[in-house]
Structure 1
Amino acid sequence: MLPDCTILKLKHLLPAIGLTCLATMAVPASFAESNAKAEDPKTPWNWSEETVFNAVNQVRAGRDLNPESWPGNARVAVLLSYDVDNETVMGLRTGDVSIGPLSQGQYGHRVALPRIVKLMNDEQVPSTFFFPAWSLKIAPQQAPLINESGLHEIAVHGWIHELNTSLDAATEERLLIQARDEIEAISGKRPVGYRAPSWNHSPNTLRIVRKMGFLYESSLMHDDRPYELVQDGEATGLVELPVEWILDDAPMFNPRGNRYMNPRDIMQVWIDEFDKAWEEGTMFLLTLHPHVSGHRSRIVALEGLIEHMKAKGQVWFATHEEAARYVRAQAGMDQ
């Protein structure tokens, strides 16, 4: 069986694999409720055109924000990100507390994160670390470890890696405000970026993120390039730095499931993705989890990828904040 974090992240992608925890939410709750009188949410083949368009237009990609050139005349922007989930995805988020899984979570901040931060510092690669607030509250020493070099960014990844799509609007907003404030208190800087737990939005998420004034969002998959988010047909002014499952370590590095792959094979997938981004002059964004990729046999994939990128040359390594500010400026969004 897949670990909790992968199951809950993949549930909207794998509706037919027979896991009961995946068989939920074919239609977001508030959308279903708003259309309940006229349309049956369980029979979308009978929906009217209006209902279908309302569904898909909740959050869409707007204008392409990929700049004509990247800083230093680089051909590609490389954004390495880490979702520092630790104990939150090892039982805390669901209340299924068990000592064994929690020990895996502690490995994330006790061993894996220091190993990864050391590699990023040694290679001088700026990176962004997304934290569920409780992950940082449990081990606040992670913040000075990340901040010491001055290279990196700390951003928000929820309160306790809650399943935000199951929450009412008031609860989701309360938890996100708590998360931002706690992370600021521990890290010493107000975070400007948001990544949704499980990489999904409720019908209320984007409104809350906009209300809170975040600079960028990084949970969705409309494009390979940075773009502006559109909500209900209107441009939001919010930069999306998109993610992708093939650029995430968790689905393929599960040693207890049937999707496990050799880290060196995964490295080649990442290299191929990077090479195409380099050819296109766009962006390469990779998501890793310290408790996953921070193991000895797996960090070799990250080491090999960085070696390849540096050998290729013309690469701009940046935090998500740096990339978001750059594309905003190039697109004239701050004028």
Structure 2
Amino acid sequence: MSGGGGAPRPIRHPWEWEEHEWRWHVERVRAGRSLKPARWPRGARVAVALSFDPDHESIPLRDGQTQPGKLSQGQYGARVGVPRILAALERSSVPATFFMPAVCALLRPEEARGYTDRGHEVGIHGWIHERNMELDPKNERDLMFRCVDTLERLSGRRPVGIRTPSWDFSDHTLAISRELELLYDSSLMADDDPYEILADGEPTGMVELPPEWIRDDAVYFPMDRYTDLRPYASPRHVLGIWRDEFDAAYAEGGMFQMTMHPHVIGHRSRMVVLEELLDHIASHPDVWYATHADIAAYVKEQAGDGS
């Protein structure tokens, strides 16, 4: 029964919405003007933004899965994957962005500080990889503010960008991000290249560096013995997809953005693929390797007034 003795409000299906209702949902958070610059720094043809989400144990912990088996898979990412990734980046002299859940940084503060000490960026990636669309606004805000403070204290630098866990984006995520005065987000997927985020049709000045599942290792490789989740592609098959994505970005003079996870890409056969991808990129002249923060700052500066 509904409170106050009144009849419960009937559930209205989307096909019953008035135009102003569905239009309001669509327009709340949208892609604004493209921020793809006319040129990249030092005459580069393409901007390469490599990112890694060191989720480690946070995903099973988020779901209340505390069994040693699940947690060991996350530990692999920190114990084996991260050192391999850092070594590969160092060999290629490539900076990257690491979007790190705060709980993972608290478990391994030396890892968080190690990223920034090596010239990489640390960005926000939730408290415990929570699903923010299941949170009320107060809890989402509290967790995001705690994330920023924790990552700043442990990494030595205040984060300027966010990638929401699982790329979920609640009705309140953008407002909280703006309250934190973040420079950029990397969770929305309305373009291949950087763009400005609109809120209710108005420019926010916040940059979006769009990811995409095509350029995410977690789409191709994960395995769960108790569900239908099985790897469906070999690493070398995936390398072909990623090379084609880079080649097209290079031809268009755009941005090539990648999302990877130490517990996924960090295995031997997959690291071979990552290193071959780095070699393929390096075989091209005029490539700008940059953190997400550096790209966001550059495109915003190039856009000038109104961004």
Structure 1 regions of 5+ residues with no counterpart? 1-35
**Separation in 2, partners of 1:212, 1:191:** 10
Q: In structure 1, which of residues 67, 71, 74 is the aligned counterpart of residue 37 of structure 2?
A: 67
Give the partner amino acid of 2:15: W
Aligned length: 296
> Please, what is the CA RMSD of the aligned residues?
1.5
**Distance verdict in 2 for CA 1:54–1:84, change over 3 Å:** same
Alignment correspondent of 1:328: 300
Residue of structure 2 equivalent to 1:32: none
Q: In the alignment, is residue 171 of structure 1 matched against residue 149 of structure 2?
A: no
Q: Which residue of 1 aligns with 2:78?
A: 109
C-alpha displacement of 1:110:
1.1
Check conservation: 1:237, 1:333, Cα contact below 8 A: no
Partner of residue 150, structure 2: 182
Structure 1 stretches of at least 4 aligned residues deviating more than 6 Å after TM superposition: none
Deviation at 1:194, TM superposition (A): 0.6
CA distance in 2 between counterparts of 1:87 and 1:141 reads 16
Normalised TM-score (structure 2) = 0.93
Partner of 2:4: none
**Structure 2: any 5+ residue segments left out of the alignment?**
1-7
1:148 Cα deviation after fit = 2.9
Q: How does 1:252-291 map to 2 (within 5 A)?
A: 252-256=220-224, 257-291=229-263
Q: Which amino acid aligns with 2:245?
A: E
| Amino acid in the other structure paired with 1:280 | E
Q: Kindly indicate whether the alpha-carbon contact (under 8 Å) linking 2:27 and 2:199 is maintained by their aligned counterparts in 1.
A: yes
Instruction: Give the TM-score, by structure 1 length.
Output: 0.86
The worse-fitting range, judged by mean Cα deviation, of 248-257 and 160-169 is 248-257
- Give the Cα–Cα distance (whole angstroms) in 2 for the partners of residues 302 and 248 of structure 1: 12
Report how far residue 259 of structure 1 moved. Answer: 4.1
TM-aligned CA deviation for residue 149 of structure 1: 2.4
Question: What residue is the counterpart of 2:188 in the other structure?
Answer: 220
Do the aligned partners of residues 124 and 231 (structure 1) sit closer, same or farther apart at CA in structure 2, a change above 3 Å counting? same
1:251 correspondence with 2:224: no
> In structure 1, what is the equivalent of residue 93 of structure 2?
124
Report the CA distance between 1:333 and its aligned residue.
4.4
- Of residues 56, 59, 64, the one that matches 1:86 is 56
Amino acid at match of 1:132: P
Deviations 1:248-293 (A, max 9, x none): 0001012443442111110110000010111111111000001100
Counterpart secondary structure, 1:287: strand
Measure the CA separation in 2 of the matches of 1:248 and 1:211. 29
Taking the aligned partners of 1:156 and 1:309, their CA distance within structure 2 comes to 27
